[in-house]
A and B are shown apart, each in its own frame.
Chain A
Amino acid sequence: MLKIAGRSACQAAVRLLGACACGVLAGVALSLAATVPATAAELDIREVAPGTWALIGQTEDLSPQNAGNIANAGFIATPEGVVVIDTSASKALGEAWRAAIAARSPAPIVHVFNTHLHPDHMLGNQAFPAEVLATLPATRQAMHDVGEAFNDNLYRMVGAAMKGTHVVVPATVAQAGVLELGGNRIRVIALQGHSAADLAVFDETTGVLFTGDLVFWQRAPTTPHADLVRWRESLAALAALLFRHMVPGHGPLLEDRRGIDMTRRWLDWLEATFVRAAEAGLDMNDVLALPLPDEWAGLPLAVSEYRRSVAHLYPAIERRVLGGTP
């Protein structure tokens, strides 16, 4: 969906500005003092399994109040080294996250994986040693092409808490496969669908699965770079793993498949709604005005993510119904 190469790169950047935009916040961001979780003590960090921890972000949209702390991250500490999954949304959050890791394990950080390209998961990269950063090839390319456009957008939405943040593209290509480290068998899994490349990490030893944004739980999924067919395939692949604990990309920790089910139900509902709307001849503004079913009434950000998804997904579905080639 996202065209990265050549002359369309600029185009892609521009689209992405829109992709995260909640434009009206720009002025507000600069005038409010952000309540930054400036220290590790202020982050919500939970022990998932022995030696394995998760940072739980707030199930909100980016704002000056939450300083960008809206995504989950995690780490696996072994005697031979620490594996970190995602770095949060800013230099300050990355530094607080790294301090929290150091407070829990004296071992050196040997791998930092970015699950995908979105800024709330990777703009804390600066706080970690550059030589251990790694991600999938398509994510590296996308971060290179549009990462700074994301960063600009976060400055607009989050404001002062972004101070000093810039994009650090991982130098290393992450390899799918098993990583043996300090007695843990850690599987790096290459999937896609939420974005062009989604990396999941499954620690077979502890049974902890880090899904990245392939799974949302108690927070509406985001779709700016979604490929629904591939996303559903990836959810099926995750559901087949014998995990005991799950750290979703957004939302609280889980010990079952409810997050996978909820994400799939949301995607199925979105697609069915858009196909039905296109078959009925609805224009985009009509689709934006449709009420959400009761099923999603209590889900944080359901209305705003639904509306964003209209912009992301409706044009292609509409074109299919009208009978045009892309």
Chain B
Amino acid sequence: MKPHLIALKHGLPVTLACVFAASAAAQTPVDPLGDRGRWADMQRQFYQGGEITFDPRVRVEVPPTAEDAMNVPVAVDARALAGEAIERIVVVADYNPILKVLEFEPTGVAPYLAFRIKVQQSTPVRAGVKLRDGRWLVGSAIVNSQGGGCTAPSTGRGVAGWERTLNTVSARQFSSAAGDRLRFSVLHPMDTGLANGIPAFFIDELNIRDAEGRTVARIWPAEPVSENPVFTLELAGVQRVTQIDGRDNNGNKLLGSLR
């Protein structure tokens, strides 16, 4: 808050002092991945409105090398932030042609989400945790890849009758000593719009609800999420997830209920 003090010393109006403070907070923090070129852009585009800190408590797990650029497993784990009021988590991939991967609102579940993404080349994957007080806590990891994952058509579309299984939800809740876990998949081509002649077609909203109909988590996937996506959530404090609903960008609804 140094600028604030200086401003007072020089007798500037309080409003101006606040502007100073804000601009100081918005300074680009040093990217722990080193000079990766695009961090400043990512910050400008996705992590606006509050102080940004790279925080080791926000873990991004990826394999060091992607065996399959169409299916790179990513796990975002911010459970170490217990006690912080989390508003949402925004995941981006710096060097993908479509930068945003998804947004996640863990209203009533643990701040943990695992899924798979397509990557077009080696790229940092970042998770920004937006706190209710406006701050961003960011975790990053690098995945190495020969790429090509974003501009290829989905495999499913090569199989006759894919429309019949579109938006089919399969879900299962797993119990373990560490707590319950929800895993679900949705059959969807998740087309990026970058493959020749195939428009963007992807699930863009998922709501996870408990037995009382309360929304315990929301996911807003974007194009880079893999075909037939599979999501894993940790159900801290949630008795039972009974419904998953949502839609794709063409307005097709999806609905799955758990046995």
Contact = CB atoms under 8 A, between A and B. Distances in A.
A315 B174 CA distance: 17
Contacts of B75: 283, 285
Contact of A322 (B149, B154, B170): B170
B174 A280 contact: yes
A26 B184 CA distance: 36
A227 to B, nearest CB: 16
B135 interface: no
- The DSSP consensus for interface residues of chain A is helix
Interface in A274-326: 280-281, 283-285, 288, 307-308, 310-312, 315, 318-319, 321-325
Contacts of A19: 67-68
Contacts of B74: 285
B230 A318 contact: yes
Nearest to B67: A311
A288 B63 CA distance: 8
A281 to B, nearest CB: 3
A108 interface: no
Interface of B, secondary structure class, is loop
Interface string A1-42: 001011110110011011101111010000000000000000
Given A14-B70, A23-B66, A281-B174, 11 more contacts: A3-B159, A11-B152, A14-B152, A17-B69, A18-B148, A19-B68, A24-B64, A281-B183, A281-B232, A319-B185, A322-B172
A90 interface: no
Interface size class of A (residues with CB under 8 A): 35 or more
Contact of B67 (A11, A26, A283, A307): A307
Interface in B14-70: 61-70
A281 B65 contact: no
A78 B98 CA distance: 60
B236 to A, nearest CB: 15
Given A7-B157, A285-B73, A322-B184, A18 B67 contact: yes
A283 B183 contact: yes
A100 B64 CA distance: 40
Q: Which 10 A-B pairs have the closest CB atoms?
A: A281-B174, A8-B158, A324-B170, A311-B67, A284-B73, A14-B148, A283-B114, A322-B170, A14-B152, A283-B232
A299 B172 CA distance: 36
Given A281-B181, A285-B114, A3 B65 contact: no
A153 B157 contact: no
B221 to A, nearest CB: 16
Among A153, A285, A308: residue with most chain B CB under 10 A: A285
B73 A283 contact: yes
Interface of A: 3, 5-8, 10-11, 14-15, 17-19, 21-24, 26, 153, 156, 280-281, 283-285, 288, 307-308, 310-312, 315, 318-319, 321-325
Contacts of A21: 65-67, 145-146
B144 to A, nearest CB: 4
B239 interface: no
Given A18-B66, A283-B114, A323-B170, A11 B146 contact: no
A315 B71 contact: yes
Contacts of A323: 170, 172
Residue among B68, B146, B183, B195 with max Cβ neighbours from chain A (10 Å): B146
A22 B145 CA distance: 8
A288 B145 CA distance: 17
Given A8-B158, A21-B65, A315-B71, A321 B145 contact: no
Contacts of A325: 165, 168, 187
26 contacts: A5-B158, A6-B158, A7-B153, A8-B157, A10-B152, A10-B153, A10-B195, A11-B152, A11-B158, A14-B69, A14-B70, A14-B152, A18-B68, A23-B65, A23-B122, A280-B176, A281-B183, A281-B232, A284-B73, A285-B73, A285-B114, A288-B73, A318-B185, A319-B170, A322-B183, A324-B168
Nearest to B73: A284
B243 interface: no
A215 B87 CA distance: 53
A120 B68 CA distance: 19
Contacts of B153: 7-8, 10-11
B116 interface: yes
A319 B155 CA distance: 15
B146 A153 contact: yes
A156 B232 contact: no
A169 to B, nearest CB: 22
B127 interface: no
Nearest to B164: A325
Contacts of B159: 3
